[in-house]
């Protein structure tokens, strides 16, 4: 399957749409009471702040010339009250909107994580995990400031502009018209910059995603890097990827900074023009207090314009992230319950493959070619064959990690596409070739297969697979803490823990993919005794390259080039001296030579 790499930019599958903003607002709706309350508070704060220049005009044009001390004191008290009110309103906004913003971020991240858990394996096969991680963490975090402050500030600033213009018109309609001269020019500049800013923000999000993917890949493969002394070569790759990220960031910031000088120059130009005309008109139609108050409102008029431009820049960047976030949320869940899916009752373990054909969506090569077989409940089926023959694909289709391209997979006569995933998978125990140990203690790692299991049940499962002896010899026994992927344990120990996890669930169908590949011969012999007891009475599918471990299987299927070319018991296949005979004897000769 084609796989996007750390040095390949991801192409968005859908064009930009302002509907993303509407979807983002849908996350805000549950907090509309807090938003409305904060908006009202901020409007009060805006009015309080905007009274300042008007109070100064009254003091200079009326109270001071008339030596009205009492009136001046009243104006000062009102001015002081507006400062107190504005400060309290600001505190309320910070507290409330920080809470709302973080709640929305949490909800978006939760939705992404829940959706990721439903996506099929094919999604993870086609992209580096670092590029998925950056969407869940970095991109969602980038929305925090927009949600905590941006929306309320935008509404408050828009309200402030209308109030300020109202004060300006009330004070001097003529000067107000002069002040508005720069607005058409500013609108043209914003329109020209919009497309460039979106393009550069998308480029930066691509490079940021690539950088995160390379870091994640490098950390995961650190042992291989050091084993092959690849540190210098990897450092050079990192410098290249990091340099590209830096370059695109500089380009994006450069386009962002083009807006601020435009606003600043326009504002200075209009203020200078107002001063020029206003000073010439003093004594005729304009008083000194009027001019001072009007200039005060001009600066206050341009402040929200600057704030809105900053919000616009934040929004452009957030839109680049929103496109990625919602693209992930819109990723189709191909492996899902059908509308009329039903829960399968307790199964016996009868499995059928009927003319199953499978290939990946973007490939023409058929992985399985019209595979058919019938397995009775309680049988142990061993799948053998060369790497890439289709063995793991068979068990992936049985577990419905992928859907068949054509044909049917039946369990107890039920087409597994017609039953709910939970009811099917809860009756299966799967130990995949890639053993995964979660961070935590060994007890919880084994309990992962059955969350309500008692400690006694966990220990019994560990004993059955011969994991108990090495666990009790660890420093804290079953309470020993292991880090992510269990790197402090040997590969064989990790496989035994994973095997105990699968068996604890007491599945009706047990799937083992190379379950004993990393276990030493002595442990394997002991494990085989436990397996013989545990496999009895349940349907089992075992993939093994070490053919000595599957001699007791009910039936052995030899897979090659996506087809079953031989099947039968060990003795039957040895007698016909076909592919299995060649595989077994070659392994036997190799062991004998050692």
Residue at which a domain ends, from 329, 361, 382:
329
User: Are 399 and 545 members of one domain?
Assistant: yes
Distance CA 227, CA 229 (A): 6
Which pLDDT belongs to residue 363?
Answer: 67
pLDDT in tens, 405-459: 999 999 999 999 999 998 998 888 877 666 778 878 889 888 887 888 889 889 9
For position 266, what pLDDT does the model report? 77
Inter-residue contact 208 to 138 (CB < 8 Å)? yes
Cα dihedral 293, 298, 300, 303, rounded to 10, equals -160
Mean pLDDT value across residues 207-233? 81
Kindly state whether residue 267 falls inside one of the protein's structural domains. Answer: yes
Domain assignment of residue 394, yes or no: yes
DSSP assignment of 223-272 equals HHHHHTT-HHHHHHHHHHHHHHHHHHHHHHHHHHHTHHHHHHHHHHHHHH
Q: Which residues pair with 558 in a beta bridge?
A: 384, 566
Token pair for residue 357?
Answer: 């054909």
pLDDT digits (tens, 9 = 90+) for 253-275: 887 777 777 777 777 777 777 77
The percentage of the chain sitting over the pLDDT mark of 90, rounded to a whole number, equals: 13
Angle between helices 69-118 and 288-329 (to 10 degrees): 10
In a domain, 68, yes or no: no
**Main-chain phi, psi angles of 506, to 5 degrees:** 50, 60
pLDDT attached to residue 461: 85
Question: Which range of residues forms the domain containing residue 388?
Answer: 340-427+509-515+539-594
- Mean of the per-residue pLDDT values for the chain? 81
Task: Pull the structure tokens for residue 284.
Answer: 């005729």
Does residue 338 sit in helix, strand or coil?
A: coil
CA dist., res. 54 & res. 46, Å (int):
13
The verdict on 164 and 300 lying in the same domain is: yes
Residue 545 DSSP class: S
Q: Does residue 214 contact residue 242 with C-beta atoms inside 8 Å?
A: no
pLDDT tens-digit readout, 2-50: 456 666 666 655 555 667 778 888 888 898 898 888 888 888 887 887 7
Mean pLDDT across 318-342:
84
Handedness of CA 292, 294, 297, 301 (dihedral sign): negative
**Residues 308 and 390 grouped into a single domain:** no
State how far the Cα of 395 lies from the Cα of 544, in Å rounded to an integer: 13
Q: Could you tell me the pLDDT band of residue 588, with boundaries at 50, 70 and 90?
A: low
Say yes or no: 311 and 412 in one domain.
no
Q: Per-residue pLDDT for 492 more than 50? A: yes
Q: Are strands 380-384 and 539-543 parallel, antiparallel or unpaired?
A: parallel
Number of structural domains in the chain: 2
Domain presence at residue 495: no
Q: Say whether both 356 and 291 belong to one domain.
A: no
Average pLDDT rounded to a whole number, residues 335-343: 90
* The pLDDT value given to residue 522: 63
- In this model, does residue 179 exceed pLDDT 60? yes
**Looking at 281, 303, 329, which one is the last position of a domain?**
329
Give the β-pairing of 555-560 and 351-358.
unpaired
Residue 39 lies in a domain: no
Q: In terms of Cα–Cα distance, which of 483, 499, 381 is closest to 431? A: 499
**Is the domain of 218 the same as that of 312?**
yes
User: What is the CATH classification number for the domain harbouring 576?
Assistant: 3.40.50.300
CATH code for the domain in which residue 184 is found: 1.20.1560.10
Is 527 in contact with 519 (CB distance < 8 Å)? yes
The reported pLDDT for the residue numbered 2 is 44
Query: CB count, 10 Å around CB of 463?
Result: 14
In this structure, the answer to whether residues 389 and 277 fall within a common structural domain is: no
Structure token digits, residue 494: 């990790």
Could you tell me if 281 and 423 lie in one domain?
A: no
One domain, residues 366 and 292:
no
* Structural domain includes residue 526: no
Residue 591 lies in a domain: yes
Q: Is the pLDDT of residue 556 over 90?
A: yes
Q: What pLDDT is stored for residue 523 in this prediction?
A: 61
Place of tokens 């080039």: 561
More confident residue, 373 or 549: 373
Nearest to 325 by CA among 518, 85, 147: 147
Q: How far apart are the C-alpha atoms of 441 and 418, rounded to whole Å?
A: 37
Q: Is the pLDDT of residue 172 over 50?
A: yes
Indicate whether 260 and 134 sit together in one domain.
yes
Residues 362 and 252 in one domain: no
Contacts of 378 (CB under 8 A, 6+ apart): 349, 536, 537, 538, 539
Answer with the one of 307, 329, 351 that is the final residue of a domain. Answer: 329
Q: What is the rounded CA–CA span in Å between residue 214 and residue 5?
A: 9
Give 208 or 458, the one with higher predicted confidence: 458
Which pTM was predicted?
0.71
SS3 (DSSP) at 433: coil
| Residue 430 β-bridge partners | 511
The pLDDT of residue 539 is 92
Average pLDDT over residues 361-388: 87
**Residue 318 shares a structural domain with residue 410:** no
Q: Is residue 157 part of a domain?
A: yes
DSSP state at residue 419: B
């Amino acid at each position: 399957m084609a796989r996007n790499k750390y040095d390949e930019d991801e192409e968005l599958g859908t064009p930009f749409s302002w509907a993303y903003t509407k979807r983002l607002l849908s996350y805000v709706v549950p907090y509309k009471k807090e938003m409305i309350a904060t908006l009202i508070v901020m409007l009060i704060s805006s009015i309080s702040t905007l009274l300042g220049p008007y109070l100064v005009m009254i003091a200079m044009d009326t109270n001071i010339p008339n030596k009205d001390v009492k009136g001046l004191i009243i104006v000062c008290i009102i001015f002081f009250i507006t400062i107190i009110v504005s400060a309290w309103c600001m505190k309320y906004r910070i507290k409330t909107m920080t809470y709302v913003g973080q709640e929305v971020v949490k909800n978006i991240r939760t939705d992404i994580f829940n959706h990721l858990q439903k996506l099929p394996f094919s999604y993870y096969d086609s992209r580096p995990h670092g590029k998925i991680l950056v969407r869940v963490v970095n991109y969602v975090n980038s929305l925090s400031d927009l949600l905590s402050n941006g929306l309320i500030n935008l509404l408050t600033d828009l309200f402030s502009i209308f109030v300020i213009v109202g004060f300006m018109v009330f004070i001097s309609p003529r000067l107000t018209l002069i002040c508005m001269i720069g607005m058409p020019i500013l609108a043209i500049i914003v329109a020209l910059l919009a497309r460039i800013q979106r393009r550069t923000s998308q480029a930066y999000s691509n490079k940021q995603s690539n950088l995160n993917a390379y870091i994640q890949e490098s950390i995961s493969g650190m042992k291989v890097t050091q084993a092959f002394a690849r540190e210098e070569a990897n450092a050079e790759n990192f410098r290249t990827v990091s340099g590209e990220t830096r370059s695109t960031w500089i380009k994006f910031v450069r386009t962002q900074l083009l807006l601020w000088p435009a606003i600043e120059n326009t504002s200075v130009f209009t203020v200078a023009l107002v001063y020029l005309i206003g000073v010439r008109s003093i004594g005729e139609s304009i008083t000194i207090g009027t001019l001072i108050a009007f200039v005060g409102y001009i600066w206050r008029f341009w402040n929200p314009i600057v704030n809105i431009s900053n919000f616009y820049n934040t929004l452009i960047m957030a839109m680049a992230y929103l496109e990625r976030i919602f693209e992930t949320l819109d990723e189709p869940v191909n492996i899902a319950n059908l509308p009329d899916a039903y829960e399968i009752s307790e199964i016996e373990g009868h499995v059928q493959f009927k003319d199953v054909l499978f290939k990946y969506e973007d490939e023409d090569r058929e992985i399985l070619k019209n595979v058919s077989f019938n397995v009775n409940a309680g049988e142990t089926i061993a799948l053998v064959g060369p790497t890439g023959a289709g063995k793991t694909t068979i068990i992936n289709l049985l577990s419905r990690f992928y859907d068949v391209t054509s044909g049917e997979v039946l369990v107890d006569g039920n087409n597994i596409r017609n039953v709910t995933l939970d009811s099917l998978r809860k009756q299966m125990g799967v130990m995949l070739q890639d053993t995964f140990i979660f961070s935590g203690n060994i007890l919880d790692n084994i309990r992962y297969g059955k969350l309500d299991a008692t400690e006694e049940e966990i220990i019994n499962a560990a004993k059955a697979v011969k994991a108990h002896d090495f666990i009790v010899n660890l420093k804290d026994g079953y309470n020993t803490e292991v880090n992510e992927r269990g790197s402090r344990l040997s590969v064989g120990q990790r496989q035994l823990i994973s095997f105990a996890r699968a068996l604890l669930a007491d599945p009706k169908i047990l799937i083992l993919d190379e379950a004993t590949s990393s276990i030493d011969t002595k442990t394997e012999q002991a494990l085989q005794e436990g397996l013989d007891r545990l496999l009895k009475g349940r349907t089992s599918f075992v993939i093994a390259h070490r053919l000595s471990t599957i001699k007791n299987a009910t039936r052995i299927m030899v897979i090659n080039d996506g087809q079953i070319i031989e099947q039968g018991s060990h003795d039957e296949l040895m007698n016909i001296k076909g592919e299995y005979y060649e595989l077994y004897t070659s392994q036997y000769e190799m062991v004998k030579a050692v």
